[in-house]
């Protein structure tokens, strides 16, 4: 697993999730300022040069264990370019976002860094980021990307970002459990609801979920939101022309309540973490797991690896628009500080790293670490050995299915994204009605 691409957020709290989130961010900011002054806020990952020519700043304190693909890419690059060594550093997500915000204001941004797209767009408006168009134009690099992988990171005519990794999310499922209880792999919501009722009656946890310090872990439900017209609606929702608590979104939340009432989620959902939910699935105690491609390798090595498949989630007869959607989108981007252009050697190093990262050799390193390529590189997967990863890639490439342009929480502010997570878990846990849940998100929108 590279790492879950979302931050560890607090468990949902009715009507107070946003204030708690802001308190945590304020605390993190204060701690960050203190730690930075002491020189201890940033963890330099082993294997990278402490005095590298350029710095790559990530959202993981320890990339070697939390994001081995990026770690290996940096090691390979440094070995091939001893005169362009990269210093790899990282902090937890919230601290990283705060640090990048402060660095942008003080003109001390690292040369390359990971950042949420909402913050990147603010940096573009403030002139903090380099236009990557000339770099992508060299060696035919731009042609290696599907247009959707770059389009979301373009603003004001500037290609300000490139995709760090791809997000493929949905439900892992245990074929043996489904077979034992005479359940076919669901296709529609009604299929899923019927499966949940049958599994619950048999004493099996239908869907492994963990909300404690993991409120972000609702990926499959974010895809469901797209099946109720989110992609077409969200620009108007953000501009105030439409509301989040609209009739279409409310129908989805009511379906989530149906699942909850049928016993879809574990009794300890609000006290267990996402990692514990994964463990419940890999130990064979749950039929489905809401997760993404980053868990493929871990599941493959577990006792349920040989019996695991992957499913993009249910279609809805009362949904809006195309129901054949699978979430296969670029995650938050890599961006480059605009000041790099002032230094010829650093610009050359940044260009060389981007060219390497998105080359076939670089993408193979992603694939070797169970991450899907973000370019058109065609991986050679041993489908007999890597059955789980192969199942994820096959589901993402199903004929007649398409992907939204972005995951719903990655095109809104941090406060709104946090409220979206809390809204789903609130309905799942029975602490919020569908109307209260949608209204909770609406309150974050100006």
Residue ranges of the domains in the chain? 17-165+332-376, 167-328+389-442
Confidence band, pLDDT 50/70/90 cuts, at residue 44: low
Residue 426: predicted pLDDT: 98
Residue 228 · residue 252 · CB < 8 Å: yes
> Mean of the pLDDT values across residues 288-311?
96
pLDDT, tens digit, for every residue of 322-367? 999 999 999 889 999 999 999 999 999 999 999 999 999 999 999 9
pLDDT by residue (tens digit) across 363-379?
Answer: 999 999 889 999 999 88
How many Cα atoms are found within 13 Å in the side-chain-facing hemisphere of 217? 31
**Do 17-165+332-376 and 167-328+389-442 share a fold?**
yes
What are the φ/ψ torsions at residue 369 (nearest 5 degrees)?
-105, 25
Round to whole Å and give the CA distance between 212 and 275: 10
Closest CA to 231 of 124, 121, 151, 317: 151
List the structure tokens of 152.
């979301």
CB neighbour class for 372 (10 Å; exposed up to 12, middle 13-18, buried from 19)? buried
CATH number of 17-165+332-376: 3.40.190.10
> Alpha helices, DSSP H only, in 207-272?
219-226, 230-239, 247-261
Q: Which residues contact 247 (CB under 8 A, 6 or more apart)?
A: none
Q: Decide which of 206 and 67 is more confident.
A: 206
**Residue 267 carries which DSSP code?**
T
* Structure confidence at residue 66 (pLDDT): 85
Our CA angle for 395, 381, 163, nearest 5°, is 65
CA distance 1 to 386: 14
CATH number of the domain located at residue range(s) 167-328+389-442 in this protein: 3.40.190.10
pLDDT for the residue numbered 37: 34
Instruction: State whether residue 228 is helix, strand or coil.
Output: strand
Question: Which residues contact residue 368 at a Cβ distance below 8 angstroms, ignoring those fewer than 6 apart?
Answer: 69, 72
């Amino acid at each position: 697993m590279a790492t879950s691409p979302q931050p560890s957020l607090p468990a949902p709290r009715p009507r107070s999730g946003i204030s708690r989130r802001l308190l945590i961010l304020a605390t993190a900011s204060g701690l960050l300022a203190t730690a930075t002054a002491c020189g201890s806020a940033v963890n330099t990952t082993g294997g990278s040069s402490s005095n590298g020519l350029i710095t790559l700043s990530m959202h993981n304190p320890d990339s070697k264990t939390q994001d081995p693909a990026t770690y290996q890419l940096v090691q390979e690059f440094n070995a091939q370019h001893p005169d362009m060594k990269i210093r790899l550093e990282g902090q937890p997500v919230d601290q990283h976002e705060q640090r990048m915000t402060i660095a942008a204001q003080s003109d001390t941004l690292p040369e390359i860094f990971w950042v949420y797209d909402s913050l990147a767009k603010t940096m573009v408006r403030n002139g903090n980021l380099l236009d990557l168009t000339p770099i992508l134009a060299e060696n035919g690099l731009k042609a290696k990307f599907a247009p959707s992988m770059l389009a979301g990171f373009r603003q004001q005519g500037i290609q300000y970002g490139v995709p760090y990794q791809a997000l493929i999310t949905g439900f892992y499922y245990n074929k043996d459990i489904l077979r034992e209880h005479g359940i076919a792999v669901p296709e529609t919501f009604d299929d899923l609801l019927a499966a949940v009722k049958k599994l619950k009656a048999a004493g099996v946890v239908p869907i492994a979920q963990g909300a404690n310090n993991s409120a972000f872990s609702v990926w499959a439900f974010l895809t469901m939101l797209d099946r109720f017209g989110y992609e077409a609606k969200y620009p108007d929702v953000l501009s105030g022309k439409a509301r989040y608590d609209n009739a279409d979104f409310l129908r989805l939340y009511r379906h989530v309540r149906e699942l909850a009432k049928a016993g879809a989620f574990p009794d300890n959902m609000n006290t267990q973490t996402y990692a514990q939910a994964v463990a419940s699935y890999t130990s064979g105690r749950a039929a489905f797991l809401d997760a993404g491609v980053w868990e493929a390798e871990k599941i493959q090595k577990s006792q349920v690896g040989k019996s695991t498949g992957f499913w993009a989630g249910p279609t809805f007869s009362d949904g809006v628009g195309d129901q054949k959607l699978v979430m296969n989108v670029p995650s938050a981007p890599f961006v480059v500080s605009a000041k790099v252009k002032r230094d010829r050697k650093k610009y050359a190093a940044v260009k060389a790293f981007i060219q390497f990262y998105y080359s076939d050799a670089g993408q193979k390193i992603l694939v070797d670490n169970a991450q899907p390529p973000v370019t058109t590189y065609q991986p050679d997967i041993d489908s007999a050995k890597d059955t789980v990863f192969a199942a994820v890639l096959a589901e993402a490439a199903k004929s007649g299915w398409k992907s939204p342009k972005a995951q719903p929480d990655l095109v809104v502010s941090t406060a709104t994204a946090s409220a979206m997570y809390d809204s789903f878990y609130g309905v799942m846990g029975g602490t919020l009605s569908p109307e209260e849940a949608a209204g909770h998100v609406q309150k974050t929108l100006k």
